[in-house]
Copies of this chain bind each other. A is one copy, B any other.
Amino acid sequence: MALAAAIDLGGTSVKMAFVGEDGRIERKWSVPTDTSESGKNIPADIVRSLRERIAEVGADRVAGVGAGVPGAVDGGLVRRAVNIGWTGVDLGGYVERELGLPCALLNDANAAALGEMWMGEPGAGSLRDLLFVTLGTGVGGGIVIGGQALNGANSCAGEIGHIPVGGWENRVCGCGKTNCLESYGSANGLLRTAQEFAAEAGTARPGSCEEVFSRAAAGDAEMARALDVTCDILARAIGGVMCTVDVEEVVVGGGLSNAGEALMAPLAEKLDGYVFPAQRGRYRIRQAALGNDAGILGAAYQVFRTR
């Protein structure tokens, strides 16, 4: 069976794996991400590691290389990837020249979206349209339409964390705008909201999202309210995305999704009130299933899809 060499390029490590056409991960390894000197050593580090492993499995078995990158990609070019210091790095071309294999690049959220579409659940492979939402430090998004990741005219498609939302105060986002979805709907956003509500009520300041969830479950009114308004803002924005792209499934991943039903149940209920009425009962929402492997699998999917 043909293998894809799949890469998930992150700010601290570069995860790599060989993935079969059946989605099975054959082996997995990682190398540290060397962000020194604007990350200029990263491409050579990746190629060196891949070359060594490809020799081990046999070059004739490897159909191509796929990589998810934490930034904006345009063909084989990484336009910008702030966390690793890149601007205009031709990673795709470099890998192709060095390894003699086709290399497909994806934004990391798009890679995760494709991975969840491909391997996220039994029968998931039949889906063609999907929104992947990642709720972590920020809010990321990947959109798949007709089985293809939507990259956008300026490599900005799926930047749903920066959808302007109506907030009750002005929160400046890392992107420079005010009241982006991720200012309220991310793990950081939830914690900030919960801390503000606790301060207003004179109750103990929560130190983590875990604490917000556990106190809400135990009946803490402010924590429950923080969770409620956070789910409402998320559902409203995702509802708007549904009115725009009308996908079959919404998949929620990232650290906040580890709360499971405590997050997913209110989010799903609120979302149903915000989608276009003709969509009700005709889309699904679920928690992401693949965790950290989603990006690797999506990168592999892209290799098999485009060869």
A residues near B (Cβ < 8 Å) are 72, 80, 128-129, 141, 143, 145, 150-166, 175-177, 236-237, 239-248, 273-274, 276-279, 282-283
Chain B residue contacts of A155, Cβ below 8 A:
246, 278
9 A-B residue pairs with Cβ-Cβ distance under 8 Å, sorted by A, are A145-B145, A150-B245, A153-B246, A154-B246, A157-B245, A159-B243, A163-B239, A240-B244, A244-B244
Asked if residues B277 and A163 are in contact (CB atoms below 8 Å), the reply is no
For A274, give its contact among B151, B164, B276 (CB under 8 Å).
Answer: B164
Chain B residue contacts of A162, Cβ below 8 A:
243, 276
- Cα distance A47–B278 when bound, in Å? 30
Chain B residue contacts of A243, Cβ below 8 A:
156, 159-163
For A244, give its contact among B80, B158, B282 (CB under 8 Å).
Answer: B158
For A276, give its contact among B159, B165, B239, B279 (CB under 8 Å).
Answer: B159
Asked if residues B72 and A278 are in contact (CB atoms below 8 Å), the reply is yes
Chain B residue contacts of A145, Cβ below 8 A:
145, 150
Number of copies: 2
- Cα distance A183–B155 when bound, in Å? 32
- Cα distance A218–B166 when bound, in Å? 31
Chain B residue contacts of A236, Cβ below 8 A:
164
Asked if residues A246 and B276 are in contact (CB atoms below 8 Å), the reply is no
Asked if residues B279 and A156 are in contact (CB atoms below 8 Å), the reply is yes
Asked if residues A282 and B153 are in contact (CB atoms below 8 Å), the reply is yes
Complex: chain B residue closest to A148, CB-CB: B146
Chain B residue contacts of A279, Cβ below 8 A:
154, 156
- Cα distance A248–B152 when bound, in Å? 8
Chain B residue contacts of A158, Cβ below 8 A:
244, 246
Asked if A143 meets B177 with Cβ closer than 8 Å, knowing A153-B283, A154-B278, A279-B154, the reply is no
Asked if A177 meets B273 with Cβ closer than 8 Å, knowing A153-B247, A244-B160, the reply is yes
Asked if A248 meets B153 with Cβ closer than 8 Å, knowing A163-B243, A164-B240, A177-B277, the reply is yes
Chain B residue contacts of A72, Cβ below 8 A:
278
Asked if residues A276 and B175 are in contact (CB atoms below 8 Å), the reply is yes
The 6 A-B pairs at the shortest CB distance, nearest first, are namely: A152-B246, A166-B166, A163-B240, A157-B246, A156-B246, A153-B248
Complex: chain B residue closest to A151, CB-CB: B246
Given A155-B246, A156-B276, A157-B244, 8 further pairs, Cβ under 8 A: A154-B246, A154-B279, A154-B283, A156-B243, A159-B246, A162-B243, A163-B240, A240-B241
Chain B residue contacts of A141, Cβ below 8 A:
244
For A129, give its contact among B153, B166, B277 (CB under 8 Å).
Answer: B153
- Cα distance A128–B165 when bound, in Å? 28
- Cα distance A274–B179 when bound, in Å? 10
- Cα distance A72–B277 when bound, in Å? 13
Chain B residue contacts of A242, Cβ below 8 A:
156
- Cα distance A231–B161 when bound, in Å? 22
- Cα distance A229–B74 when bound, in Å? 36
